Chains A and B, each alone.
Chain A
Amino acid sequence: MAIKSLTVNGKRVPVTYNDPQMPLLYVLRNEFGLHGPRFGCGLGQCGACTVHIDGAAVRSCITPLSTVDVNKKIVTLEGLGTPEKPHRVQKAFIEEQAVQCGYCINGMIMESVAFLAKNKKPTEAQIKDALANNLCRCGTHARIVRAVKRASA
């Protein structure tokens, strides 16, 4: 058993682990009890597990714990906002009702926030390209694009 510290949603937190190759996703969900990042494929194919590391959207299901240290700022869906005080992208998703089952929505929001930081006024086509590696099975795509567009306005 080993121990290290991570910086998650602005707080420094210790984590004990058996395997340094354990993906970050398992630490966030099982050690810290976070619900935002979700297990979808474990292969980096669907995007449900997306978190920000130093502002970049990263697939936490294929990010070994060994590659992350306390100097990297990890932000999850919970770190963006709350139901009472949502981030503007979260707010836009509520306003557009851009959720069906919502399982993929963590990835959609985390990816969009990182994307909008680089491209403040994207076209619809650019939004679709930015989300091309995030899968949704319910068919909420049209609403998600509208929500990202709304958040960028």
Chain B
Amino acid sequence: MNIQISRRDALLGSGALIVSFALADSLTGVHAQGAAKPLALTEVDSFLAIDKTGKVTVYSGKVDLGTGITTALRQIVAEELDVPMNRVDLVQGDTLLTPDQGKTWASVTIQVGGMQLRQAAAAARQALLAEAAKKLGTDNLTVADGIITAGGRKKVSYAELIGDKSFSIKLDPKQPVKEKSPKDYKIVGKSTPRVDIPDKVTGRFTYMQDFRVPGMLHGRVVRPPAIGAKLEKVDESAAKKIPGVVRIVREGDFLAVVANNEWDAIRGADALKVTWSKSETLPDQAKLWEHVRATKVVKEDATSNVGNVAEALAKEGAKVRKATYDFAIHTHGSIGPSCAIADFKDGKLTSWSASQATHDLRKQLALMLGLSLDNVRCIYLEGSGCYGRNGHEDAAADAALLAKVIGNPVRVQWSRADEHGWDPKGPPTLVDLQASTDAAGNVTAWDSIFYIPQAGPELNVALVAADLAGMPTSKVSFPGNIFQLSAIPYKFPNVRTVCRRLETTPLRPSWIRTPGRMQNTYANECFIDELAAAVGMDPLEFRLKYLDPADKRGIEVLERLAALAKWDKRPSPKKGAAGNVVKGRGISYTKYELVRTYVGAVAEVEVDRSTGRITVPRFYITHDCGQIINPDGLKSQIEGNVIQTVSRTLIEELKFDRSQVTSLDWASYPILTFPQVPDIVMELIDRPNEKPWGAGEPAAAVIPSAISNAVFDAIGVRLRSIPYTPAKVLAAMQAT
């Protein structure tokens, strides 16, 4: 990447130092000399630049993980600036060029990142209009396609006003700039086709896995056969005979083969004869839940506490119902294993990866290799969908370590077994619930305990290479906010929800799409259904009875869902089921994190009582995430949420022995395939005048419980352990 820096007059400020970028060749990873492009969240120039041809460049710290966000972010900026979509370019996730807008996670890219961009664009537009008013001698101005017109005659373009110069405008979140009125929107709210798809369907797109650097070598890591095993001995003789092998790198327990082509690196790694120490650090998977329950609790967080639960539960005549739900360990299951390239030259590291958090990765790599932050640049390239923190950061650490040792740029491509075996996992979740009802069938108390790992520097997602090589690993990466949605949206008189934060969890914990929110909503929405059934009420009516009547958007989501799914009002289970294959329907609801996106879901299921096999022919979804930026992009996200989570609910469970993960491929960790995919009928509730909220996760939160409740409706048996394999269904039927 060539970066030219020059001093030019600032249009609107006081001659600040200006940077312009020629993004012609991004192969060499050259660092900027001298002053850097602004990156502060308080500067318009951090987010936007307009060149002499009128082309707008957006600098986004949030990255496209395959969700289509680069199209939606362009829409937001194009709309606010009144420029056509094809005049907007976007640079994403480059620590030298894009501001640190936080990790791309938690469904906040539009909600937070997009709104920062909207503010920057609104401020830029306002300044451009003010400048045009001076130039054209009137403030009666209109803007179209980046051209400002006065009274239909005199014109000046953005390019003429600002081309290649800096805005030098401060942004103050406390004093937001006035944004365009949604009634004037022409681009936002439309299903603009994604900018990346033509290249992706023709092989022209460059994924991380396709990226190449001149002089690059290929590294293949050799992971221990057991977590915590020590490298005792390596016989390199056979590996060294393989023609392309350049070097075998050993740093502590980190071992890799570097070759001048990828296949020889793989062959070299296979040819190494390695002796590792025995290590058995994992619990017996057959007793996983006993293990979780016995893990040391480091703190107890009450996520809600209303009234007096203990008193209500103990009250004479109170009918108390108890249940325990568990949710298996899942892996991200990216179709493309993680990949990264690193180049270490003159004390400076350039890392290319598909990391969802390049600014955090930069800190991690700097600490690991003992470099100052200024000497590390991390650049994002789109990889295979990651759905959270998969192995991308670890591949980046592998490549960085090897590049520093070797001196050449090194590419590391993980194998399938590396990805399944070594990407960090969605931790196991165990939930105890109890609730009481009175003689009239009213819920009098709700009491729940969630057993989830602690979040914070103590339980950090370390870089695998740093751990193996005995290098320092920073504490900036840990599962976020998995307590969310342990509290409930229902207004019972006495409510207590408690998270017991566990000191450890069996495998390196991470976040996978809807982390915590999925597991917690699963337990809550199933148990709500249990209570509805216990008092003989229709499960939709039961929910509406206890939702806050002032929360009109939530109620509308459920009412529209009932209409969409032609909800048959009656208590579960369904009566009169005959034959082996029986049908049921179940409902679920969330107000995401109790403060944003509303989703309602109805699942239709068929359960084969002879085999225990569940199929999900259809899902109905109603969804209110406020202002919709791109309806088709939103639908695509919701479809993905539903399908991926049907897979997680019915099929997925990571297996391990006492030493290591044993689900190392798609045969031992199957996922949903085409014949099992449900039809999805959805209704989007657009609210152009409301804030836009996230949609990458919320719909996933309601899928497991909707299925579970539908299975109960069909067979009258409550399933409480994800995944719902045929064996578990048969066992639950027998136990009932």
B7 close to chain A: CB less than 8 A: no
Please state if A78 and B202 are interface contacts (CB–CB under 8 Å).
Answer: yes
Once A19-B263, A109-B201, A142-B680 are accepted as A-B contacts, the answer to whether A99 and B194 lie under 8 Å apart by CB is yes
B617-661 interface with A by 8 A CB criterion: 632, 636, 639-644, 647
A141 at the binding interface (Cβ < 8 Å) = yes
A-contacting 9-mer, from B72-80, B458-466, B564-572, B669-677: B669-677
Contact A135–B207 (Cβ < 8 Å): no
Chain B neighbourhood of A8, CB < 8 A? none
> In the complex, what residue of chain A is closest to B645 when comparing beta carbons?
A139
A82–B242 alpha-carbon span in the complex (Å): 38
Evaluate contact between B642 and A35: CB separation under 8 angstroms.
Answer: no
Known interface pairs A42-B416, A101-B382, A101-B384; A137-B202 also in contact (CB < 8 Å) = no
Chain A 114-153 near chain B by CB (<8 Å), digits 1 or 0: 0000000000010111011111111111111100000000
| Residues of chain A lying within 8 A (CB to CB) of residue B382 | 101
Q: Chain B: which residue is nearest A61 at the CB level? A: B416
| Inter-subunit contact A83/B198 (CB<8 Å) | yes
Q: Which residue of A lies closest to B197 (CB)?
A: A99
Give how many B residues have a beta carbon under 8 Å from the other chain's beta carbons: 63
State in angstroms the CA–CA spacing of A73 and B288 once bound together: 52
Report yes or no: B671 in contact with A94, Cβ–Cβ below 8 A.
no
B665 adjacent to A45 (CB under 8 Å): yes
CA A135 to CA B384, docked complex, whole Å: 13
Residue in B197, B243, B335, B387 whose CB lies within 8 Å of A18 = B243
Which residues of A6-53 are within 8 A (CB) of B?
A: 18-19, 22-23, 26, 29-30, 33-36, 38-43, 45-46, 48
| Min C-beta distance of A111 to chain B, whole Å | 10
A90 x B202 contact (CB < 8 A): yes
Q: Is the CB of A142 within 8 A of B262?
A: no
Are B666 and A41 in touch, CB under 8 angstroms? yes
Asked if residues B210 and A100 are in contact (CB atoms below 8 Å), the reply is no
- In the bound assembly, the distance between CA atoms of A35 and B334 in angstroms comes to 18
Counting CB contacts under 8 A, is A57 at the interface?
A: no
Query: A135 near B671 (CB under 8 angstroms)?
Result: yes
Residues of A within 8 A of B692 (CB): none
Interface residues of B in 325-339 (CB under 8 A from A): 332-337
Partner among B209, B415, B673, B677 whose Cβ is within 8 Å of the Cβ of A42: B415
- The chain A residue sitting closest to B206, CB to CB, is A35
The B contact surface, by secondary structure, is: loop
Selected contact of A86 from candidates B202, B264, B674, B679, CB within 8 Å: B202
Instruction: Convert B173-206 into 0s and 1s, putting 1 for each residue whose CB lies closer than 8 angstroms to a CB of A.
Output: 0000000000000000000011011111111111
User: In the assembly, what is the distance between CA of A38 and CA of B642, in Å?
Assistant: 26
Give the one of A1, A40, A144 with max B CB within 10 A.
A40
B202 & A40 in contact (Cβ 8 Å cutoff)? no
Q: Does B480 contact A (CB under 8 A)?
A: no
- Verify B674–A141 contact, CB threshold 8 A: yes
**Residues of B with C-beta under 8 A to A58:** none
Q: Evaluate contact between B674 and A129: CB separation under 8 angstroms.
A: yes
Which of B63-71, B402-410, B522-530 lies on the face that meets chain A? B63-71
Residue A74, interface by CB 8 Å = no
A132 and B202 in contact (CB under 8 A), knowing A99-B194, A138-B644? Answer: no
Cβ of B399 to closest chain A Cβ, rounded Å: 16
Q: How far is the CB of B258 from chain A (nearest CB, A)?
A: 15
Complex interface: chain A residues within 8 A of B104 (CB): none
Contact B416 A40, beta carbon cutoff 8 Å: yes
Contact A102 B66 (CB under 8 A): yes
Known: A35-B210, A102-B200. A143 touches B639 (CB 8 A): yes
B385 interface residue per 8 A CB criterion:
yes
Interface set, chain B 291-311, CB cutoff 8 A to A: none
Quick check: A43 and B385 within 8 Å, CB to CB?
Answer: no
Contact indicator B636/A137 (Cβ below 8 Å): no
Contact flag A140-B336 (CB < 8 Å), given A35-B204, A35-B210: no
Chain B residues whose C-beta falls within 8 Å of the C-beta of A137 in the assembled complex? 332-335, 384-385, 387, 644, 671
Provide the residues of chain A in CB contact with B647, threshold 8 Å: 139
In the complex, A78 Cα to B198 Cα: how many Å? 12
A141 touches B202 (CB 8 A): no
Known: A39-B209, A99-B194, A142-B639. A77 touches B203 (CB 8 A): yes
Contacts of A141 in B (CB 8 A): 643, 672, 674, 677
Contacts of A128 in B (CB 8 A): 674-675, 677
Q: What residues make up the interface of B, taking CB atoms closer than 8 Å to A?
A: 65-68, 193-194, 196-207, 209-210, 212, 242-244, 261-264, 267, 332-337, 382-385, 387, 413, 415-416, 632, 636, 639-644, 647, 665-667, 671-675, 677, 679-680
Q: Identify the 10 closest CB pairs spanning chains A and B, nearest first.
A: A101-B66, A139-B643, A36-B203, A101-B385, A139-B640, A102-B200, A103-B384, A83-B198, A77-B203, A128-B674
Given contacts A35-B204, A103-B336, 20 further A-B contacts (CB under 8 A): A19-B267, A26-B263, A30-B261, A34-B203, A36-B203, A40-B337, A42-B415, A42-B416, A45-B665, A76-B203, A82-B202, A102-B197, A103-B207, A103-B335, A103-B385, A106-B203, A129-B674, A135-B673, A139-B644, A141-B677
CB-defined A-B contacts under 8 Å, sample of 8: A1-B243, A38-B209, A86-B202, A93-B197, A103-B385, A128-B675, A141-B643, A145-B674
